[in-house]
Amino acid sequence: MPALKEIEVLIIGGGPAGLCAAAAAADLGAGVLIIERDDKLGGQLVKQTHKFFGSRKQYAGERGYQIGNLLIEQCSTKAKVEVWSGTTALGIYEDGVVTAEKNGQHLKIKPQKIIIATGASEKMITFPNNDMPGIYGAGAVQTLMNVHGIVPGQRVLMIGAGNIGLIVSYQLLQAGVDVAAIIEAAPTIGGYLVHASKIRRAGVPILTSHTIKEAYGGESVEGAIICQLDENWQPIPGSEEDLKVDVICLAVGLSPLTELCFQADCQMNYIPELSGHVPLRNDYLETTRPGLYVAGDVSGVEEASSAMVEGRLAGISAAYSLAYGKDVAPKLQAEALAELSELRAGPAGQKTMQGLKKLMEKGGAGC
């Protein structure tokens, strides 16, 4: 390995956004390197056993892991795409050098363009005993079950009725694990209602305006006290219920994984609708640091379908800025932008649309 690896487009993160970015940039002729922290590409797609929504263009109807395999396959057949797995990006320096770690080795990469597609991390909520064994993030439950084939326990309380809470509940049921209830602090279910109906048919109660008061147990979780919330999100005294469970699974939202954006001195704004601090960028996903693009959840938490389209858009844009695909790139960019608008046009996309509007309006205000 050379002391300084030179590459045209460096993609940080090999999930749905990163893989689509790599394929798109390579298709236009750019040399691409993907670095991925995990040993395997695919990001969260590898754990998604349900069929995806969207349209044919985003592989709707296929299951998440199947889409993951397809995207990985697509990249592996492209001579222009190189992959370093097990490689963690450490920093982006002023001179454009990106450092990374692989097998204890310190690596230096000098890219002409960077696409950050690092995804998001899970949020946590506070309640007494929330550090007890048996309390998991939904991502960990999915990794245990769908990557390693291990069930987390016998009976689960799911916290959060967004898409992740609903989907992981379904996967638990499929694995033969009982789900005592899904509780959600908001007055309505946040995830897709078809997912909710599927789980409700299986007999799992979905309790909106409910929260967890505390977990209890000895060496590990033995149960949870839940309670109802009033319209001001305050616990209603006397509404407590005791659920005997050995697992409490938290699916309470995601935060964009933006450390590298901060460090690269991208202008960041706090946009609640996009789930946290996100980098300001133009329509083509280039941040305020020239040559640095973002795609997927790192730019605002959304669905995998839009992450894939954003990845493609960032890949095209990065390659185009290196003078590749001069004849086709503008058309491809327009197509990707149209797909994003289409995906976000309905009520389900309103939050993202508002967030993006706010982000653009804030513009130069900084964080």
Partner 1 sequence: MLNKTGIPTTEDLKTVTPSQERLKKGPVAIIECFQKIPCNPCTEACKQGAILPMQDINDLPKMDFDKCNGCGVCLSRCPGLAIFVVDGSYSAEEAMVRIPYEYLPVPQVEEEVVGVDRAGKELGTFKVKRIQSGGPKNKTYTVWLAVPQELAMEVRSIRLGGVRHAG
Structure tokens belonging to residue 120: 């998001």
Which residue has tokens 């789930």? 275
Which pairing describes strands 120-122 and 254-256: parallel, antiparallel, or unpaired? Answer: antiparallel
> By C-beta, is 197 or 220 nearer to partner 1?
197
Min dist CB 3 to partner 1, Å, is 46
Min dist CB 50 to partner 1, Å, is 7
> By C-beta, is 163 or 258 nearer to partner 1?
163
Min dist CB 226 to partner 1, Å, is 11
Min dist CB 347 to partner 1, Å, is 5
Cα dihedral 188, 194, 196, 197 sign: positive
Min dist CB 242 to partner 1, Å, is 12
272: number of Cβ within 10 Å: 10
> By C-beta, is 132 or 186 nearer to partner 1?
186
Min dist CB 208 to partner 1, Å, is 5
CB hemisphere CA count around 359 (13 angstroms):
28
187-207 burial string, b = 16+ CB within 10 Å, else e?
Answer: eebbbbeebbebbeeeebebe
In sequence order, which residues have a C-beta less than 8 Å from that of residue 173 and are 6 or more positions away? 179, 199, 202, 204
Min dist CB 345 to partner 1, Å, is 5
CB hemisphere CA count around 355 (13 angstroms):
23
> By C-beta, is 127 or 192 nearer to partner 1?
192
Chain residues binding partner 1 by CB under 8 A are 50-56, 60-63, 66, 173-174, 176, 178, 180-181, 187-189, 192-206, 208, 305, 342-349
Min dist CB 198 to partner 1, Å, is 5
> By C-beta, is 86 or 187 nearer to partner 1?
187
Min dist CB 183 to partner 1, Å, is 11
Separation CA 184–CA 361 (nearest Å): 32
Please, which residues bridge with residue 157 across strands? Answer: 181, 248
Which pairing describes strands 105-116 and 98-102: parallel, antiparallel, or unpaired? Answer: antiparallel
C-beta pairs of 212-218 under 8 Å, 24+ apart in sequence: 212/125, 212/127, 212/157, 212/159, 212/183, 212/248, 213/127, 213/128, 213/240, 214/127, 214/128, 214/129, 215/127, 215/128, 215/129, 215/130, 215/132, 215/134, 215/135, 215/248, 216/129, 217/129, 217/132, 217/134
> By C-beta, is 155 or 362 nearer to partner 1?
155
> By C-beta, is 92 or 313 nearer to partner 1?
313
Min dist CB 87 to partner 1, Å, is 32
> By C-beta, is 147 or 193 nearer to partner 1?
193
Burial class of residue 149 in the structure, from the number of CB atoms within 10 Å of its CB (0-12 exposed, 13-18 middle, 19+ buried): exposed
> By C-beta, is 28 or 247 nearer to partner 1?
247
CB 229 within 8 A of CB 241: no
> By C-beta, is 174 or 234 nearer to partner 1?
174
